[in-house]
Amino acid sequence: MQPGGSTPGVTAPEPILVAHDIHRSYGARRALRSLSFTLRPGRVLGFLGPNGAGKTTAIRVLTTVLEPTSGRFEVDGVGSEHPDRIRRRIGVLPEGLGFPRHTSGADYLAYFGQLYGRSRSDARQVGRKLLDDVGLAARGDSLIETYSHGMRQRLGIARSLVNDPRVVFLDEPTLGLDPRGQAELLGLIQGIARDRSTGVVLSSHLLSEIENICDDVVIMNDGQIVARGTVAEVLQQEGGDAQDAHTVRVRVPVADVGRAGSIVEGLTGMTRRDTDPSGWLTIQIAVANGSSPLDADRNRLLDALIKADVPILGFEIAGARLQDVFLRLTAESIA
């Protein structure tokens, strides 16, 4: 994968994580097949895939918890044949991480800071700083058993940063969080990549969060990569066939649905296919005139609605969302 986002004329930094043709089998079952990708510092890479696609196995291999059956990887220039050295360069928030019940957040971070080689005073100082960074400064001395799920996730992220890692792996960090908790955590994750120049590998089921905060994306299915690149590249490469591109969705206030529908039906080559209760109108743009540029037709539709003072709350091209790509690429597995 050649991650995009680089400014012309500016040399892209060297990849901080490079996976070469990694395979992992459990007996006869191949859980991971030919995993290859790169990640550059300061970027967030989204790992997407249905349950059983191999995301967690991939993360466990890349974090040295599991040995690859074949293939190798490098973190910050250190090869996978040196797992101890790699562990010093990575931070990990495993899925469903447990915490000791009778320890405070500050003591927990100080403990791991020392395990990563910090002196006691340095570990405590760094722990306090991280608690502040993740918004837990006020609760640092409280026992972890009194923390909410969201607070524990933030503490887990703080723990993954105690060694100032070059790459952070986050496996389903927002699982079980409410929308506010998800938004806060995603902001924190973006901050980690931006402010620390850390590479972040984010595994998630939530396609919207991957689409919103990830620079690059890897979509896995049945143990292998089925799409990879920047989010824009994946959407462009896998963003649906011509028929999908002729279908758009426009969201308007529920009170204006009738009026918007009439406007659409009054436009040449446009047909309202569907309306849902939340105000989304699905509109088919006719393909009879093959020479008509689609972009112009879409603009013509929006222009007509704007001129009629219909507020436009949302606009989507069918097949152009990450969710559409994901569902298409993993259709067989999900079915």
Positions touching other proteins (CB under 8 A) are 26, 29, 31-32, 51-57, 60, 63-66, 84-85, 87-88, 90, 92, 94-103, 111-112, 114-120, 122-123, 125-126, 129-130, 132-135, 154, 157-159, 161-164, 184, 187-188, 190-192, 194-196, 223
- Cβ neighbours of residue 214 closer than 8 Å, sequence gap 6 or more: 44, 45, 46, 202, 231
The residue among 224 and 292 lying less far from other proteins, judged by its C-beta, is 224
- Helices 294-307 and 257-266: angle between axes, nearest 10 degrees: 130
- Minimum CB–partner distance for residue 60 and other proteins (Å): 7
Whether 177 and 154 have beta carbons less than 8 Å apart is answered as no
Give 83 or 258: the residue with its C-beta nearer to other proteins. Answer: 83
Residue 298 is encoded by which pair of tokens? 């879409």
User: Closer CB to other proteins, residue 116 or residue 280?
Assistant: 116
In total, the chain counts a number of residues equal to: 335
Question: Among residues 115 and 254, whose Cβ is nearest to other proteins?
Answer: 115
Among residues 137 and 313, whose Cβ is nearest to other proteins? Answer: 137
Q: What angle do CA 185, 187, 193 make, to 5 degrees?
A: 105
Closest separation between CB of residue 97 and other proteins, Å? 6
- Picking from 104, 191, 111, the residue whose alpha carbon sits closest to that of residue 159 is 111
User: How remote is the C-alpha of 295 from its chain's centroid?
Assistant: 28
CB of 232 to other proteins, least distance (A): 24
Which SS3 state, helix, strand or coil, does residue 289 take?
Answer: coil
CA distances to 199, 230, 280, 304, 317 from 257, in Å = 44, 35, 8, 14, 19
In angstroms, what is the minimal distance from the CB of 95 to other proteins? Answer: 7
Closest approach of other proteins to the CB of residue 4, in Å: 23
| Alpha carbons 171 and 223: distance in angstroms, whole number | 16
Q: What are phi and psi of 60, to 5 degrees?
A: -70, -35
Closest approach of Cβ 322 to other proteins, in Å?
19
What is the distance between the alpha carbons of residues 242 and 67, in angstroms, rounded to a whole number? 43
CB of residue 115 to other proteins, shortest distance in Å? 4
Tokens, residue 200: 């972040």
Q: How far apart are the C-alpha atoms of 103 and 127, rounded to whole Å?
A: 13
- Determine contact, residues 195/189, Cβ cutoff 8 Å: no
CB of 227 to other proteins, least distance (A): 18
Q: 107 or 256, CB closer to other proteins?
A: 107
Which residues neighbour 192 within 8 Å (Cβ) at sequence distance 6 or greater? Answer: 157, 161, 168, 198, 200
Selection from 1, 147, 173, 177 nearest residue 91 by Cα: 173
Q: How far is the CB of 288 from other proteins (least distance, A)?
A: 46
> What's at 298, amino acid-wise?
R
